[in-house]
Chains A and B, each alone.
Chain A
Amino acid sequence: MKESGHDRHFGPVSQPPGLVPFGQVYRLVFAASVKDLIRRRRLVFIGLVCILPLLVTAMWRAFGGEHLSAEMFFSNLVSLLYLQLLIYIVALAFGVPTVHDEVEGRTITYLFTRPVSRVAVYAGRLTAVQLLAGSLLALSLVVCFGLMVIGNPGVLDLEFIRVYVNHVLIILFSTIVLTGLFSILGVAFQRPLVWGIVYAFGWEGVVAKVPGRLQTWTLDFHIRNLIMGEEDVQKGLLDTFRHLLTDQAEVSAWVSFAVLTVALVVFVYVGGVLFSRKEYVIN
């Protein structure tokens, strides 16, 4: 070792300190992320997109009520707008930035210089994002329900409520699954939005329409399959859809549910592990 001019002042060696408890970190990151997401402009834009189905509903109320029954209208609305477009847009808009917001904004350094588990950070941010994405869609669906029902109690039968609740649950569940997937892209890629769009409107959009077993490899198939499991609502356009796909793979709704659940668990796990191993070179 070189001779050098100043005293090194060697300090005593003690045990290295431990990490901050997982739960505490999770709660803090979750709360901070929710606050941050609410203040972002993104929320307004996506909120505007979520108004689209409400416009259509308003039109149905104004002009189409007598041609199209409430259940049929609603299940068409769900399959055409929510399941084809909105859940992807919302999941992309919230899932991709889960971690990427902090990487791009270069604030991730502040979290990485704390004695915390990165998995806790990831979990906190992911659940915050999922909460927001879910709430936005849920709000849109609740207003939609109101638009259909208020001043129009005739539609409010048991069947309609069953269909409604069922569809809402499926939409929220699939949004959570998709958000988990897209947030992995945000962890792994420099330009995750591009990859997300390619996946959402390329793979999901095209492969899910291909007849045969191939389509069972898309999330879209299983999400749709959950709805298909619903016997009485496959009249309207959905019915036509199914006839187009002559070689519709036969998978039970429960299997699809299991597939999606497993997918969600895998997505969260992979995202968490990737995030805790990944090294971000921030300049």
Chain B
Amino acid sequence: MNAPVLECQSLTRWYGQVIGVSTVDCQVGPGVTGLLGLNGAGKSTLFKLMAGQLRPSLGRVLLLGHDLSHHRGLFRWIGFCPEPDALYESMTGREMLVYLLRLQGFDAPESERRAQLALDRTHLADAADRPVAGYSKGMRQKIKLAQALAHDPKVLFLDEPFNGMDPVSRYESMELIRALGREGKTVMVSSHILHEVEEMTSIILLIQNGQILAEGNIREIRDLVERHPHQVRIECEDARRLAVDLLPMEEVLGVKVEAPLRLVVETDRPRRFFGRLPHALLSSGVKVRGFQTLDDDLKSLFEYLVEDAG
């Protein structure tokens, strides 16, 4: 029998009368999945529920088919990087990792070995023997990341792991997360910087008002959003002439000349339109410098989805 790595079954959680997450059903498989949502949409609650830090009010979380709230041993398979900036301030980075690894059941030498491995992977080896109280914000985030992956878990939950990191650390950590995904780990990562999520993965889970609003591949979701036509900006040497040539295409909804050398084409049937665009451009004879889709990125997608959901 096979089971999904991670499965939520009608997961619901209240705080008193406030609802945090409401009847969430979803499955998450290996690879990196980006968890997105507005502040207060229920992202953190969902994270904590899936990582076994909160008990569901209703429903359950299954990890490889086992109910998370019944088997505490399942934490051997889970790595959790919490969002608050909290560490064992008086320990050194290495001490903290070894301590937490030993609590995963590894013996002392094995814990030392794995701690070193995790320090190397997060580029913290140089600072390993300094107390974490003296770490910069980026290093503090990295040591949190290190403790989440040191015991080689199957599933990782990373809640805003880049908050406060400098661009270099961000870059390194994003590489690391992509690598974890390639290794076949199931990685759930939340971030407000959509640009970065896009660089790590094309699979997202969007939560709004405590419910799942969209899940799956960014581009496929984008094509499902029909209400907002795709916009393509074309730079060319004569925008008006090109506009006249493109307007007869049946996929084109409208053309707007933004500047003498720039026009924007709107289409509601992107697949056909883009398939035919090279031919249209070549046969028009207007010299083209380049073109780009304006709202094909996660930022626009997020805006459209959240806007439409109200």
Question: Which residues of A are in contact with B by a Cβ distance under 8 Å?
Answer: 1-2, 4-14, 16-21, 24-25, 28-29, 32, 35-36, 39-40, 105-107, 109-117, 279, 281-283
Known: A8-B29, A113-B80. A19 touches B72 (CB 8 A): yes
Q: In the docked arrangement, what's the CA distance between A105 and B86, Å?
A: 6
B217 adjacent to A113 (CB under 8 Å): no
Nearest chain B residue, comparing its CB with the CB of A118: B72
List the A residue with the shortest CB-CB distance to B84.
A106
| Sampled A-B contacts (6; CB under 8 Å) | A1-B27, A4-B216, A8-B28, A11-B4, A113-B75, A114-B75
Collect the chain B residues with CB atoms within 8 Å of residue A17's CB.
Answer: 73-74, 76-77
Q: Which residues of B line the A interface, CB within 8 A? A: 1-5, 15, 25, 27-31, 44, 51-55, 64-66, 71-80, 82, 84, 86-91, 99-100, 102-105, 147, 154, 184, 203, 215-217, 220-221
**Contact yes or no, A115 B76, CB < 8 A:** yes
Hey, which chain A residues are within 8 Å of B75, CB to CB? 113-116
Interface class of chain A by DSSP: loop
Q: Which chain A residue has the least Cβ–Cβ distance from B99?
A: A32
With beta carbons under 8 angstroms apart, the residue of B27, B52, B220 that contacts A113 is B52
Contacts of A112 in B (CB 8 A): 52-53
**Chain B, residue nearest A28 (CB):** B102
16 further contact pairs, Cβ within 8 A, besides A5-B221, A8-B27, A281-B54: A9-B31, A11-B3, A11-B154, A13-B66, A17-B73, A25-B103, A36-B91, A39-B90, A107-B86, A109-B80, A110-B100, A113-B51, A115-B104, A115-B105, A116-B103, A117-B72
- Kindly provide the distance from the CB of B31 to the nearest chain A CB, expressed in whole angstroms: 7
Q: Look across to chain A and name the residue whose beta carbon is closest to the beta carbon of B102.
A: A28
Task: State in angstroms the CA–CA spacing of A9 and B89 once bound together.
Answer: 39
How distant is A255 from chain B, measured CB to nearest CB, in Å? 41
Instruction: Find out whether the CB atom of A11 lies under 8 angstroms from the CB atom of B74.
Output: no
Known: A1-B25, A24-B105. A279 touches B215 (CB 8 A): no
**Set of chain A residues within 8 Å of B1, measured between Cβ atoms:** 13
Contact B86 A114 (CB under 8 A): no
Q: A7-B29, A12-B2, A16-B73 are in contact. Are A109 and B86 (CB under 8 A)?
A: yes
> Could you say which residues of chain A place their CB within 8 Å of the CB of B15?
281
| B80:A13 contact, CB within 8 angstroms | no
Cβ-defined contact, B102 with A35, below 8 A: no
Complex: chain B residue closest to A25, CB-CB: B103
Find A109's partner among B74, B76, B82 (CB 8 Å cutoff): B82
Taking a contact as CB atoms under 8 Å apart, the answer to whether A114 and B3 are in contact is no
When the two chains form their complex, are residues B84 and A283 in contact, meaning their CB atoms are under 8 A apart? yes
Given contacts A13-B65, A17-B73, A107-B88, whether A6 and B82 have CB atoms under 8 Å apart is no
